[in-house]
Amino acid sequence: MIRSCKYFFLKNPTLIYHCLFFVENEWKTCIDGKCLGPRGNRKYRKVRMDLNKLQSKIWATFGVKISSLNSNFFSSLFPKLFNGKLRALTLHRQNIPFKDFLFISNQMVRILFNESYVFYPNGDEVPYETIFANLPMIEYFCFKRGNIAYNFSKTVTELLIIPHFRNLKSLDCIGISQSFDIDKFFQYLKQNKFTRVRFEFNGQISEEYKEKLEAIVDEIPDAELPRSFLPPYINFVGQLPVKKTALKNLFDAYYFS
């Protein structure tokens, strides 16, 4: 109705897309919502759009993906958004003000932050537990850190008291440091029958912390059958290749068979 109603458009000029992608300095959108299917079946078309000249608002009914060397490019899109009802967000090398994040967080189902971070007005990074607490509908949460200077010491304790954390279908964390309380989180994982979990630690962890990870990795395949918890995938520098392969095969068998 909105697409066909010239009266609506005259009063509230709005361009409607299922999704919007900005990659390699050009915009594109999917054809007939096919961005959600298997990779081989996905179809896209280019979109001619200059945010500096655009007079209309933009309504992405499903998702947005931004990959740009300009770390503030995603924020430049916000004044053009018709509303914040995004369901999926993929960001590469972007910095997001906390107020902008809150504008789009309420109905978000999927998030991937690849070297992308949320910041308070004073320049401090917003903790992941605070980000997560403001994502009541989230099902798929993934981040990859390029910056290792982050303190995960409160992350596990705070995440586990968020009610909707247990509704996650998938959790991928890449670039974790040894400040992450892996002992406490593994106690939670041993009761986990719902969430797919993949952890990759940065290369700065100590030998003592590696020993903790080794002990956990040894315990995962040895769990009694039928399994009482879903096997996570844990990867770190110095991990024995044979153990890494065995854990990866177990992980894949449960999630991709």
Q: What is the mean pLDDT of residues 149-173?
A: 94
Q: What is the pLDDT of residues 184-220, one digit of tens each?
A: 999 999 888 889 999 999 988 999 999 999 999 998 8
Select the more confidently predicted residue: 57 or 38. Answer: 57
Q: Please state the pTM of the whole predicted model.
A: 0.89
- Our measurement of the distance from residue 191's CA atom to the centroid of its chain's CA atoms, rounded to an integer in Å, reads 23
Binned at pLDDT 50, 70 and 90, residue 5 comes out as low
Judge contact between 45 and 31, C-beta under 8 A. Answer: yes
Q: What is the pLDDT of residues 64-94, one digit of tens each?
A: 999 999 999 999 999 899 888 999 999 999 9
Concatenated DSSP letters for the chain?
A: -TTT-HHHHHHS-EEEEEEEEEETTEEEEESTTGGGS-GGG--EEEE---TTT--SEEEEEEEEEEE-SSTTHHHHHGGGBS----SEEEEES-EEEHHHHHHH-TT--EEEEES-EEE-TTSPBPPHHHHHHT-TT--EEEEE-S------TTHHHHHTT-GGGGG-SEEEEEEE-TTS-HHHHHHHHTT-SS-EEEEEE-TT--HHHHHHHHHHHHHTTTSPSSPSSPPPEEE-TT--HHHHHHHHHHHHHHH--
Give the domains, in start order, of the chain with CATH numbers: 6-255 (3.80.10)
In the Cβ-directed half-sphere of 80, how many Cα atoms lie within 13 Å? 19
Select the more confidently predicted residue: 256 or 177. Answer: 177
Q: What is the pLDDT of residue 222?
A: 67
